Structure 1
């Protein structure tokens, strides 16, 4: 058996015609017939019957077909794995990231990578950390940036790339901004603008207050931090936002000892053979990491 002969057999079985199979494989009909005849000789069985103009599988052919398909699939996977071992500076890189990470941290990293590897076509897909985690776990994605994942899967490898500090902030006109000193208890007296309870961000803040025996008056307008920032800027309440998102319209409250942080990670599946572009990008991130931009100056 050899791969070209197996492909000829599978194509002829699918098309029920040697002539159509030969056209699809860009072979002459005698050339395709020769490959199949050689396969039949090696197996010592007849794989096809000719009935008029139709070519149909024999019982032996029907039995052998699923095995041939599996062999070809294994051969294709082997070829892809070997190809992935070669340094690939061309091809497609499919990268998932949260909107927040993409907007605030990825631009300089991607810009430098594109300049060094112009032959790689990068497709960036904005997904939540939960979505990326699910797709990576299912082997449907190569690389994904996320904030700390909902849970650590043993099948995934997590590379910490940035510790992101979260700050307590209010509008410059908010009453908390006018106080010379602020405590966590003071924050509980005002509405908190936070993401939904199913997010790690929300649990991180709630745990901080729970450890102090404090309860929050949480308003849940959006899971998007940009929307929370806008609402905080209007004075509707206080929020916890990454340092990079503190704008001139906001005041960072003097609660630095209590400011939590979360880890931004790049994840991939340990058992998925990464493509050449993906391995290049992974090495690039390991070497350069993400950088924390300066917050907008007052």
Structure 2
């Protein structure tokens, strides 16, 4: 069974579209259709139902889906393990990271890494931390440098690299800006803009308010920290931002019982053999972080 056919099957199953799968694989749509047809012939079963433009997995397709991913992952792990027999650090390293970490934390590490290991082709993917976590979990990327989840379970392995203090912030013109110190209850009387509810940062901040039995007035949410900073700076709401982002556009507040921080680090799948490049990246992050 040709692994290229399995790859095409997974791409169509994930995207729900032959044309989108073709774009993902840098192939023509007829080439993808041919690979699916060949796979269906080899298995003696139809894998997709095609009703107009709508595509859905058949029962056989649903049965194949997890097995196809396992087969490709096993082959990739085998290739990586054999490659690791050589001490050379080379090949392709797929690294996921959040925009914030990619802009504020990673550049010095990546600069040193590319200088020390010029034979490694870095494939850096900018993703929300939660999306990167999910892609590591499903074997789509080898490593991710992200905001760590408050709780981490097997099969994810994590290494804490940086503490990332968070500051409560308002615009310089906000009524709270002139307070010497505020309480969480006082914050709760004013509108807030929070990171999206699915984000690890939202969970960290929410736990602080739950502990103090305060319900914040969340008027809006967004996953983008730069957008949060903009909305705070124009006086729409208060929020929390990484200390590295605080400048003259916003005013940090002193909040009683409000010390809060998140952890940044790298994660990988415990069942996946890290490449030499992946191991070198983890080592460099731990050394230089």
Q: After TM superposition, is the score higher than 0.5?
A: yes
What's the secondary structure of 1:258's corresponding residue? coil
Deviation at 1:120, TM superposition (A): 1.7
2:238 counterpart residue number: 238
> Is the CA contact 1:130–1:150 (under 8 Å) kept in the aligned structure 2?
no
Distance 1:174 1:120, change over 3 A: same
Unaligned runs of 5+ in 2: 3-72
> Is the CA contact 1:157–1:267 (under 8 Å) kept in the aligned structure 2?
yes
1:286 counterpart residue number: 286
Per-residue displacement from partner, 1:187-210 (whole Å, max 9, x unpaired)? 111111102222222222222122
Distance 1:75 1:256, change over 3 A: closer
What's the secondary structure of 1:194's corresponding residue? strand
1:18 counterpart residue number: none
2:220 counterpart residue number: 220
1:77-226 equivalences under 5 Å are: 78=78, 80-149=80-149, 151-226=151-226
Moved more, 160-169 or 279-288: 279-288
Deviation at 1:254, TM superposition (A): 1.4
Distance 1:268 1:75, change over 3 A: closer
Runs of 4+ residues deviating >4 angstroms:
73-79
> Is the CA contact 1:84–1:273 (under 8 Å) kept in the aligned structure 2?
no
Moved more, 236-245 or 265-274: 265-274
Query: TM-score normalised to the size of structure 1?
Result: 0.68
What's the secondary structure of 1:220's corresponding residue? strand
What's the secondary structure of 1:278's corresponding residue? helix
1:54 counterpart residue number: none
Task: Tell me the distance in 2 between the aligned counterparts of 1:226 and 1:76.
Answer: 37
2:272 counterpart residue number: 272
Deviation at 1:89, TM superposition (A): 2.9
> Is the CA contact 1:137–1:153 (under 8 Å) kept in the aligned structure 2?
no
What's the secondary structure of 1:157's corresponding residue? strand
Q: In the comparison of the two structures, how many residue pairs are matched?
A: 219
> Is the CA contact 2:197–2:221 (under 8 Å) kept in the aligned structure 1?
no
Task: Tell me the distance in 1 between the aligned counterparts of 2:284 and 2:229.
Answer: 32
What's the secondary structure of 2:103's corresponding residue? helix
